[in-house]
Each structure stands twice: as structure tokens, then as C-alpha cells.
A and B are shown apart, each in its own frame.
Chain A
Amino acid sequence: MHTDGFFRCIVYQSCNWRLTKFETRLLPTTMSSSPRPSEDGEEPVSSRTSPIRPLLDLSGAAIQGSREDKNPSIVLPNQSEEISHFAVDLGGSLIKLVYFSRRADRETTNSGNRALSPVRKLDHLKRGGFEAELRRYGGFPILGGRLHFVKFETSKVNDCLDFIQSKRLHLCKAGGAKDGVIKATGGGAFKFADMFKERLGATIDKEDEMGCLVAGANFLLRAIRDEAFTHLEGEKKFVQIDHNDLYPYLLVNIGSGVSMIKVDGDGQYERVSGTNVGGGTFWGLGRLLTKSKSFDELLEISQGGDNSAIDMLVGDIYGGLDYSKIGLSASTIASSFGKVIGQDKPLSEYRREDIALSLLRMISYNIGQVAYLNALRYGLKRIFFGGFFIRGHAYTMDTMSFAIRYWSKGEAQAMFLRHEGFLGALGAFLNYDKHGLSNLTAHQCVERFPMGAPYARGEVYGPPIRDLNGKITWMDKFVSKGNEITAPVPTSYPGTTGLGGFERPLARSCSLRSDASAALNVGVLHLVPSLEPFPLLADIQSYEPNTVDLSDQSEREYWLKILSSNLSDLVEKAVASEGGTPDVIRRGDAFARAFKAHLARLREEPAAYGQLGLANLLEMREECLREFHFQDVYLAIKQRENEASMVVLPDLLAELDSLEPSARLLALIEGVLAANIFDWGSRACVELYRSGTILEIYRMSRNKMRRPWRVDDFDSFCDRMRVNEITGIPLKPHKRALLFVDNSGADIVLGMIPLARELLMRGTEVVLVANSLPTINDVTAVELPSIIAAAAKHCEILRKAATAGGLLVDVVDDDLTEKDQAEVPFLTVVENGCGSPCIDFRQVSSELASLADDTDLVVLEGMGRALHTNFNAKFKCDVLKLAMVKNQRLAEQIINGSIYDCVCRFEPKEQS
């Protein structure tokens, strides 16, 4: 049976999540202009992986049943069916749950217009596929999917069981031969074993707690880029961990009590110490002293405290004088709670806030000090803190950092983990041996922060949110309570997540404060095994995609403001794109609120979601749209512009052909720059749209293209592209060029396609690299084939190249002989693995990465990919960065120019 051809698979999932059946058919794209592939191609090919799709093992796939069946099912003998779905850490105070979902959420897969783009059948593409994963890792392949992090109060264990049942997590067989085994860690594993057995019919398989903590920490430090950070004097700073220089370190897990573990490597660790003064002490004692209702409330009230009313300070003993002789300032605490004695004053006369702060400080400082002593003893420089005690609370982190810095005289460094509370649960999950997660690296993880159910101070509760409608209803209810959502609440189970089942503290204002979600700075972790670092990056270690540093406050404010001011336009467009029905309007409202909440959150705590760059911000908007099922807001606009531009293309090509090679090259680059003005992501350009037709703008733009441009390396590019003046043959033709395209419409049709055609004419193989998912009006990899097909109608060169590249499978070209085919350079399309207007070259699709080998020219086009990101990126090959700057501030900042200035930056491969 063949396994060639194209197919689109829809995964049917039975309720127990087993993958049973595939529907195959040939690629139909929904683009009206797309050439429809013939319907009779019954041969499925080996899979292409898509970053948001679960990865399936298609090796040995076979179609079951008659070939004449319309929708034959496919058997996947090598796809492991038994996928464990969750692991728990049953702690003394909290239950931490990590669960894995293999399907892409319905909201992102039910789009009709997303389909796999046809890509040439290149051998190397297969290398990027699943089999390669298997080969590479030798063991179990990494499963694509999502990791979710949820917590519950241990006293509400039934909530946890309800949650597991509602998500049907327990119905999946855990890894291994045993039926219904749940990996669990934490002290409660034995305690709740019977309860789990009774309610879920599953046996608890207890994993060693320390081992799990270490495994979890090692995984996080390896797989998540912005996991560890320092926090000194209120400043949060992410630390990039070099995995080769990680060990040994001290892991301090602050649960109810505190364990200190010296970690020397994977699976190599030793519990060296601990203290009985931990999170349980803070909460237990705090509850006695302050009558607080929740841990979070206790944390919150501490913010308004003054510990000098409770603690005996050095100044109290020394009469307000510093004790500088041994470096003790007057405000150093000599004795915690020392002032409570000798004063005949009942507890109720002390301020709760002061008590909470004093307690927090005492415990944090003490943990820091004990950690330091252990680090000292073993000569460890790095101390990582885990456990659900810190919860992003700045004072706690500062106190610990201070203690460690003070005692170690700056030698040792305190670092905190964003997934602090989930080390154990994650470690237990990693013990399932079929995920291959232990091989996962940072470039294969993408973290998203979906909007969960908002909290309304414990007043609005509802059923577990299982779908979009539930989510929207939730937000409606929330807003109808007159509350303002100022922060997203992560994940999706009211009463249990976000606040970890702790009752919502009574916030001072009538709005959802960020404190709540600060407690859980954890998103959903998308595991995308098909993502890889781009091999042509000169130095991946030092690579930083973002050009603009948003840690600068004014810079951040500026972009946050831009995004919020553009929001209403976006919502309007989004609603229109989906038909504008009342239901869609509601959805649009919900999106707007959710996105506003994200912005508000980031304004308050910029590092809430990890290192914040402009690229992350722009991508977050796209993700948020997708979360509310707005699949492609600009779909109609893109189509209209494509069609309008296509009309002009023949004339443009004819004009270009009449020029001398060097003049033609200039005209082409001008064309790319001029066409790059069509950007719905730029406010200035949207204004232009209102006052003119597409062609008018293009002509106007073109007329402005007077050299020298603000950044003008054209001469050196031209030199590199020199041709023999007699024969017209390029002197040093490139073998393969990767063209990273930007917008739809004129940009692709009148800018990049002609440039691609020029390269093809010079014998260079051209790969158009486009987005996997829609973002603003950027052209996607799915849309490109149809655009090329349309263009090919006007141009023989394009037609031959595209045919050779397999883009035009339906065109039976009798003129093209085998011999011709071998000589014609290929024109192909590949997706980049992104859904953002920017690109992070640390995480691109494996297809793109696999094409890097023979590539000797990279063209980055557009603001997002060439300016916002990668403006300063260095590559191992020739690279041309082309963009028109459509933002005054950015122009001033990075090219010292002004709006509509052009950038043509050519960086030839460094001769070594």
C-alpha cells in the first residue's frame, strides 16, 4: 500500500482519547482561488508535522478497508495508544496536578481553512518527521500535546477528584502494562490511595518525593527558557540556564516544611538538610494569629504591614543606634516577635498586617539563611527555590535573596522558578516512560496563557468550563457583577485553579487584582516536538530575537498603549470576519476583555509571563484571538488584496523583464520595500488604506523609493548578485534561498514573488517561508500555494518551478520532460512553525530547520521579522533584511530615521 500523496487527517477521538480512526482525503484548501487538487488521489503520505497538531506516529500507516471507501480509516500500528494523562503531587496543604492533553484544543482545530500545505516531496523533509524523532532519541518519541498545571487544596480533595473525572483523565491507561495506574508523589500518596481507588478505580503508584522534585526541577530548567529568575530589591530578572553549567545546585523545596536537596545531575541528588519552619508554619501560625481566611489573604495583608511593631529590632536594643561594628543596622531584626512580650496587650490589639509581615519575614529569612548555610557547606553557587510558598510574592523573594546575598557576601545566588509548585507533580509525570519528555528541550516548548474562568470574589461560581461557550458565559457573569477584569486567571476550573482552590481574597477594589493570578505564573505548556532551533543562526546561545527591549518602562508603556488603542478596531474586524452575529459579538467582547486583562496584568507585572519582548506581546494578541475562536480575522481582506494585486502582476513582470540585470535587481528590491507598506499591523498604514486604493498606495510608495535608503546595503547585495555581463549568467549563484514573507496582497504578489522569480531565473532554488497560523494580514503557508498558482498563470518561470517543487500537483504539465524537471530550480513553500507577526529563530518548524543545510541566502522581509525581531541577528549565510519602517518610534530607535524609511540590510556570510 502506498504511503505517498497528500492527505489531511482529522483525528477522531473516542471518549477515552484513544486514537482510532483517520479520515483521509486529498488536500482541499478553502481558498477560493486555490487550485483544487484532484479528488482521486487516494495515496496518503507520511505525515508532516504541524506545530499545533498532536504528533502521531504514522510509520507503517495503512488504510483499512476498501480503497473505494470515501473515508477509509487508517491503522496506526506504531502509535502508542496508552498515554498516561496525569500525575499528582499530594502535599500536606495542596494537591498539585499536572495533566497532559494530546489534542489541540477544539478552538484551534475546528477551523475549516487550515489544512496542510503541499510541500515538495523531499527526502530531507522526512528526516524532520516522526521517524527521525524516534531515531534521534533512541527511546520513546516526544509526544506533542499540552501540559496543564492545576492545584487544589488538600482538604478539598474531592474537588480534585471531580476535576479528574470531569476531564476524564483517569480513563486513560497510564504508561506501562498495568491498568489504571496513576503516578503520584508527596506525602498524601499513601493517604489518598484508597480514595483514588474508590472514586477513579485507579491504583496509585507512589514515586519518591525527592526524586520527583529533582526530576521536575531539572526538566523545567532544561525545557523552559524563562523558568528561573532572580529577584533583588523588587527587580525580577530572568536567568538563562546553561544546562552544561547547571550542576551542582541546591534545590530548596518549600512545602509545608522545607527540604534542601543537593543536585548533582539527573537522578543524582541528596537531601542534605531541611527545616520545620516552612509554608505550613506560615499559614498555620498565621491563621491562628490573624484569623486570615486563606494563604493568599495572609500574603496580601502582609503588604500593608510594618514589622517594627512586632519584631525587636537592633535599634530597640541599642537605643536606635546602628550596630555597625558587626554590620547590623538599626532596622535589623534581633528577635522575631520580640516586642510582643512585656506588653500586656491582647493579640487583637496588634495589627494583623504587622503580624503577617513579621511572620512572613521571619520564615523567608530563615529559609534563606538555612539555604545559604547548606550552599556554603557544599560549595554551591546556585540556589533554586521551589514549592508553593512564594507565589510570586515580591517581598518573600526579596527577603530570601537578601538573606542569601548578605550571608554569602554575594557569592551565592537565589533563583526562583515560575513553576515553583509543580516540581514534584511534573517529576512524577516524567516517570511515565512513554512521553519522551525527558528529551524535550527549550525550543520544543511554547507556553501560552489562556484566559480561564474569572473569579468574582467567591461570588460567581459555575461548572467546570469545558468549552468556549462556558468561558464566555463566565466572563459575562463576571462582568455583570460589576467587576472589572484586570488580570487573566489561568486555566479553567473555577474554585480550584488560579487560586489553587483558596478562596478568593477580598480585594480592596472591586476588581480582580493580579495578586490572584500572580500566585500561579504558569500557563499551559505546549509541547511541540517538531520545533527546532534554526541551524543557520550564527550563535544560538547569544541569540535574542527581540530588537526592542520591553524591560524599559516607557518602551513597554508605548507598546501596551498601541495594542490597547488598536483593540477596538481589531474587535470590530474580528467580529465582522465571523459574520457579525450576536453570538460572535459576544465572543468579540469576551476576547476584548481577556486581552485587556492580559495587558493590565503586564502593565502591573511585566515579567508575569516570562521575559517580555515585543514579539511575545504581538503573539499573545494572536493567541488570544485564537483562544476565542477568531481564526483568521483578515481573511477577507487578504483575499481581496491578493486578487487586486494579481491583476497588476503581469504588467510588473513585463516591465521588470525589460530592464538590465542590475537595474532589475534594484527595481525588485524597491518593489519589495514599496509593497511592504501594506501592513494592517501598522496604524499609520491603516490610515493610508482609508484614503486610497491599493494600487494608488503602491505607486505612491514606489515613487518615494529614492535611494539612498536609511539603511542601504544594496550595492553590496548587488555586487554579490553580479552576473556575467555577456552571458547574463550569475557569477556566484545561490543554491537555495529562504524567503521569509510578510503580508498578503501587494507585499507577496508584487514584492516577494517577483524577487523569488528573479532568484529562480538565476538558478537558485527558492523556498517561501510563511506563517503556520494566521496573524494580521500576513500570508500563511496554507494560502501561499494558491497565490503561487494564480501567479503562475502569468509566468512560465513560476509555473515550471512551482510544478517542479510540487506546488501545483494538479497541473499536468506535459511540456515538462523529466530532463527539464531536473534542471528547473524548485519553488516550494514551507511553514515556519509560528503564529506571530515576528519570528523567533530558536523555535521554527523542523521542516524549515531541515532545509537549512543547502541554504546560502536568507531573505527576511517586513517589520515583524526583520526589525522588531532579528534586526541584529547574525546568520551563518548571506542574509538580506528588507523592510519599510511604518512606526515613527521604531524608526527613531533602531535606524535613527523616520516613518516610511526603508531598510535594506545585507550581511554577507562571513568568510572564515
Chain B
Amino acid sequence: MTSWKARVPAALVVPNSLGDSLPLHMTPPPDSLVSPVDSSFLEGASSLARFGLDIGGTLCKVVFFEPIITAEIQAPAPSETPKSRFSRESFEDDNVVAPSVEPDDASNSNGSHENEIWSDGKKDFSMFKSSKPTPKGVNKGGERSKREHSRQLDRKMWNSSHDPVHIPGRGTLYFKCFETWKMEEFLALTKEHSLVKKGRALGATGGGARKFKDHFEQIAGLQLERADELYSLVRGIDFLARHAHQESFEYPAGSFRGGAIQRPLKEISDDEYELQAERRASSSTSSQDRSKSNEDMNGTEALRRVVKGPVLATSDIERLGGPQDLYPYLVVNIGSGVSILRVDAAERFERVGGTSLGGSTFLGLTSALTNCTTFEEAINLAREGDSTQIDMLVGDIYGGDYTEMGLAATTVASSFGKLVQPGRREAAMQTPQHLSKAVLLMVTNNIGSIAMLHARAAGVHQIMFTGSFLHENELAMRLLAVAMEFWSKGNIKAVFLRHEGHAGAMGALLSTLDPLNPIDKLLLDAS
């Protein structure tokens, strides 16, 4: 179980992530929203939340942990350090006393209030959020309208389609992200809403941890505690894979019938998926028992929506073959660009490569070629697309399969290769969905072949594909899974994470936790 841990940062990496984006224009918060209580624009975050940020080139990923406070935790811890802790009260007002769980804070006055909330034993956090009373007596109607504003704001700023992960008895992990270019806005809101207490440090990784360090201090008065990127990434993957139920998954062997010839573009009917899923599920009942308790909260519903079709690899680590067979494995993190790491053992990993053709290349090219501006739009376009009018396929060149070389007629021989012919430009520009699909295939195929070559060079049998590019990107995941299976003749498996883009932020959060702090301990002990 400890096999996914990687404790020693070997080198840094540029794992920028990319995920869903929001409408480009973000209105500044109305003045009325500058309310000290419960106007947090970050839905779900309380003053006790622990934050981890991964500030990439395109997206800033945020993971926060909202603990479940029990009596045990409320007992004063002997040597608290003030850093890396948040209390809602302290965000609101530096003079306001922090909850009792934070004994180093001068006052404990609000502790009882917190306890009320936390001690009601509710694990339903949506309830908690909606029913959370206002500590400083704002009238009910105003409260409601402000909450409504807050929600709207929340939706504008954040992408919240990632499922939270509940760790029984400890707390909940929330996964959010916003576009990095909205950073100043984020900081302004953070300050306005007093989300984070001045002088407190947030765990951060990614290039922006360095770039925006001064911004955090100057605009929001926040300290960023930088965590190594590779370390964060690997640690985050490890944590997620072990704690988030059904976090990692793969496509079962033979999902894509192909025989000798690769058929990456072949669509598989839902029936087939379900059939396979059933088969898979029946063989992994043991793990189901263990995680049954979370299942209700977790909502497999959401999961299905995200990754429709593939069989889930529950209780992931065991599934991956156990510690002794696990290493080495490859992490292919597809953010703005792509970083490829080889993880040799829990304590050893190395950046072995990367490519600049990543998620932002997909979005950049697609938005240059079509009217779409967000990743979601681009992906949705691609889903409807048919790139055979754009790409030159093996079949276009050879009139069929190029059997000697094992290339299927449907294999893309040259991305955008059909547009070489004169007069095709105008027609192509009329079909944004085809263009988007072609860009997606270009980027994904290329990542697949580079990943495969690296896997061979490293002699690994598992490739963990992560990064926000894969968010709700069934097409890409299928393509990668098929390519790995086909070219390795089943020797190399593609594995995916449900919280694709948040591993780095998760790692950053973990690396700033203090083992002596009871709240931090909740999460640390879980890992």
C-alpha cells in the first residue's frame, strides 16, 4: 500500500494542467458581497479547510480538505504551528478568535459555534453548507440573496464538476480549478471574502507557485509554501489512487476489437461497455465491500458521467499488481504541455521526457480554428466531429489496410493531411467539429506514441495518464488505451485517474501538512 508513495523529490517538472474553463468574462464581485460570513465564493470551504494549489500555465488547480471535527480532535494539541492552517474566523477578521481546535490562536470564542456545526455528526456536506448558520447574525433574507450571489460567483469562477472525495471519519476533499489568467481576480476575491487569514501559508506547486508568489503576498497577504512539482504529482497520484474510491481505471483488454490491425477509431456500443463492466464488477466484489460505506455519498452516478464505459479499477493499487510488480511505472501528465516521469520505486522518480504538444495545444489550435473558447466547448465539438475529412488516413493512401506494416486503414497517417489539397480550406473551416476532432486526434496520438516509446525505453508495463487534458475526454482516453494495448500487444496498460488534473495540487496540499496539527493529522494519517 505504500508503494505509490514517493517521498523524495528528484527533480522538478512542468506539469501544468488544463481542465474545464469558464466563460472568459468574469464580473468583479458586487460590493454588497463583501460580507464577512458565509459569503465565501469557494463553496464548501470552511475556515478549517486545508488548501493545496497547483498553478499551471493554463489552469490553477485547487484541492481543499474539509475536516470532520470530532471531540478527539478538539482536544488541544501540544505544539501547534500557526502556518498552513485556516480558520474561517481568522479569514474574516484577524482579531476574531480561532476555533478551539486551533489553540495557538489567541481566542477560542467561536469554537463552540464551530463545534455545533461539526458535532452534529452530519456527513452530508451539502447539508452542512446550505444549513450553516450565519455566525454574525445577518438577516435571513439578505443571507439567502447573498448566498445566491455567492453561488453564482462560485459558478463563474470555478469549475466544480469534479467529484469530492469523502474519507470516512476524516473529512472531504474538494477539487476545483480556475484559469490561471484569472489569478488576480481570484486573489482579490480571496481577500474580499477573507478566505485565508493573513500570514497563513498555502501549499502550492506548479510554475505559478513561483511566478505568483509576490502577488499572493501583496494582494491577499498570503504566503505560498512551494512544493516540488514532481514530488507533488507523484505523491498526489499515490494518495488519490489509494483513497478515492474507484479513482483509477483502465479499459479492459480487448475493449476494442482489432485483431492484428489497430482500430483506434472504432466506436464501441454502450452495450458492450456495460457487458464488460458487469464482468469486471463481478470479479472485484471484495473491494466493493471495503468501500461500500462511501459509495452512497460518492455517487457512482457522477463517475459514470465522467468516464462512461470503462471498467473501473477499484481498490486500485492491488489491482495494479501489488507493490512488487508495480514499479517501475510511467506517469504521463498532460497539462498545458506534457511531462513524462518514470517512477522506479516509492522513493525514486525521474522526469524522462515531455512534449510541448499538450492540452493547450489542443485548445489553442481548436480555438484558433473554430469559435470555441473553452476546453469544454472544444471537447464537445470534437465529440461530434469526424476527422476523416481533415486527416489523411492510411486507407486514403493505400486504399485499405497497410497490412505489411500492421496499419489499419483508419489509422491517421497525417493529421490535417487532406487539407494539403487546394480548395479544401474553406470547406474545412465550415466544419469546426471536424477540425476539433482532428486536433484532438493529432495531440492524443502523438502523446500516445511518445508515451509508448518512453514506456519501452523504461521497460514499464503501466502508464498512468493524468492531467486536466483528460477531463471528460473519453475520446482521448480510449485512444490512448487502445494504442497502448495494440502497440504493446497487451504488455503495456494505460491507467487513468478520475481526478486527472488534481494530483499535483493534492500533493502540494499533503506536503504542507503538519503531523502535529490534529486537523492536518486527519489527512496525513489517512495517507
Residues of A within 8 A of B (CB): 92-93, 154-155, 186-188, 190-191, 208, 210, 255-257, 271, 273-281, 283-285, 287-289, 291, 310-312, 314, 316-321, 323, 325-326, 328, 333-342, 344, 347, 350, 355, 362, 365-366, 369-370, 373-374, 376-377, 407
Question: With a CB–CB cut-off of 8 A, which chain B residues contact A321?
Answer: 210-211
Return the CB mask of B415-453 against A: 1 if under 8 Å, else 0.
111111110010011000001000001100110011001
Contacts of A187 in B (CB 8 A): 396-399, 413
With A and B bound together, what is the CA distance between A365 and B369 in angstroms?
22
| Chain A residue with the shortest CB-CB distance to B230 | A326
Complex contacts, A355 vs chain B, CB 8 Å: 368
Q: Tally inter-chain residue pairs, CB-CB below 8 A.
A: 239
A335 engages B398 (CB within 8 Å): no
Q: Are B457 and A373 in contact (CB under 8 A)?
A: yes
CA distance A284 to B450 in the complex (A): 22
Contact with A317, one of B56, B364, B412 (Cβ below 8 angstroms): B56
A376 touches B413 (CB 8 A): no
In the assembled complex, B289 has its CB within 8 A of some CB on chain A: no
The CA of A355 and the CA of B365, in the complex, are separated in Å by 10
How far apart are the CA atoms of A208 and B403 in the complex, in Å?
A: 11
State whether B368 touches A334 (Cβ < 8 A): no
Q: Is the CB of A280 within 8 A of B364?
A: no
Question: In the complex, are the beta carbons of B207 and A283 less than 8 A apart?
Answer: no
Contacts of B397 in A (CB 8 A): 92, 186-188, 256
- Of B79-87, B325-333, B353-361, the stretch lying at the interface with chain A is B353-361
Known contacts: A317-B207, A344-B373, A374-B453. The answer to whether A289 contacts B58 by CB under 8 A is no
CA distance in complex: A802, B360 (Å): 82
Given contacts A279-B414, A326-B351, contact A366 B58 (CB under 8 A): no
Q: Which residues of A have CB within 8 Å of B414?
A: 92, 255-257, 276, 278-281, 284
Tell whether A338 pairs with B336 under 8 Å between CB atoms, given A284-B419, A323-B14: yes
Per the bound structure, the CA–CA distance linking A283 and B357 in Å amounts to 17
User: Do residues A191 and B399 form an inter-chain contact, with CB atoms below 8 A?
Assistant: yes
A283-B420 contact, Cβ under 8 Å, with A326-B13, A335-B58, A365-B356: yes
CB proximity to A under 8 Å, residues B56-113: 56-58
Q: Are A377 and B12 in contact (CB under 8 A)?
A: no
Taking CB atoms, residues of chain A closer than 8 Å to B365 are 285, 289, 337, 340
Q: Are B396 and A337 in contact (CB under 8 A)?
A: no
**For residue B58, which residues in chain A have a CB less than 8 angstroms away from its CB?**
312, 335, 338, 341-342
Which residues of chain B from 386 to 404 have a CB within 8 Å of any chain A CB?
390-392, 396-399, 404
Residue in A190, A280, A374 whose Cβ sees the most chain B Cβ within 10 Å? A280
Which residues of chain B come closer than 8 Å to A186, judged between CB atoms?
397
Distance of A288 Cα from B21 Cα, bound (Å): 25
Which of B363, B411, B420, B425 is in CB contact (< 8 Å) with A256? B420
B375 CB, nearest partner CB in chain A, Å? 8
Residue contact B425 to A287, C-beta cutoff 8 Å:
yes
- Contacts A93-B420, A335-B336; A275 near B446 (Cβ below 8 A): yes
Chain B residues contacting A280 (CB-CB under 8 Å) are: 392, 413-418, 420
Instruction: Say how far A699's CB is from chain B's closest CB, in angstroms.
Output: 71
Give the 8 A-B CB pairs with smallest separation, nearest first: A187-B397, A280-B417, A319-B211, A317-B207, A284-B416, A337-B364, A280-B414, A284-B419
Judge whether B356 and A341 touch: CB under 8 Å. Answer: no
Do A326 and B368 touch (CB < 8 A)?
A: no
Chain B positions within 8 Å of A289 at CB level: 365, 368-369
In the bound complex, what is the Cα–Cα distance between A280 and B420 (angstroms)?
6
Tell whether B454 is near chain A: CB-to-CB under 8 Å: yes
User: A335 and B179 in contact (CB under 8 A), knowing A280-B392, A325-B11, A326-B11?
Assistant: no
Q: Are B14's CB and A333's CB within 8 A? A: no
B449 contacts A256, CB within 8 Å? no
Bound Cα distance A321, B213 (Å): 13
Closest to B451 in A: A373
Beta-carbon contact of B12 and A373 below 8 Å: no
Answer whether residue B456 sits at the interface, using C-beta atoms and an 8 A cutoff.
Answer: yes
When the two chains form the complex, which single residue of A256, A285, A335 contacts B356, counting CB atoms closer than 8 Å?
A: A335
Shortest distance between the CB of B338 and any CB in chain A (Å): 8
Specify which of B13, B14, B356 is in contact with A336 (CB 8 Å cutoff): B356
Q: Say how far A405's CB is from chain B's closest CB, in angstroms.
A: 15
Q: How far is the CA of A339 from the CA of B16 in the complex (A)?
A: 13
Q: Is the CB of B11 within 8 A of A341?
A: no
> How distant is the Cα of A317 from the Cα of B13 in the complex, in angstroms?
12
B203 within 8 A of A: no
CB of B35 closer than 8 Å to a CB of A:
no
Q: Which of B359, B360, B391, B422 interacts with A276 by CB under 8 Å?
A: B391
Known: A257-B414, A334-B356. A281 touches B442 (CB 8 A): yes
Check if B368 sits within 8 Å of A337, measured CB to CB.
Answer: yes
Q: Which one of A257, A275, A320, A369 lies within 8 Å of B417 (CB-CB)? A: A257
Residues of B near A373 (CB, < 8 A) are: 353, 450, 453-454, 457
A277-B442, A370-B450 as given contacts; A340 in contact with B420, CB under 8 Å: no
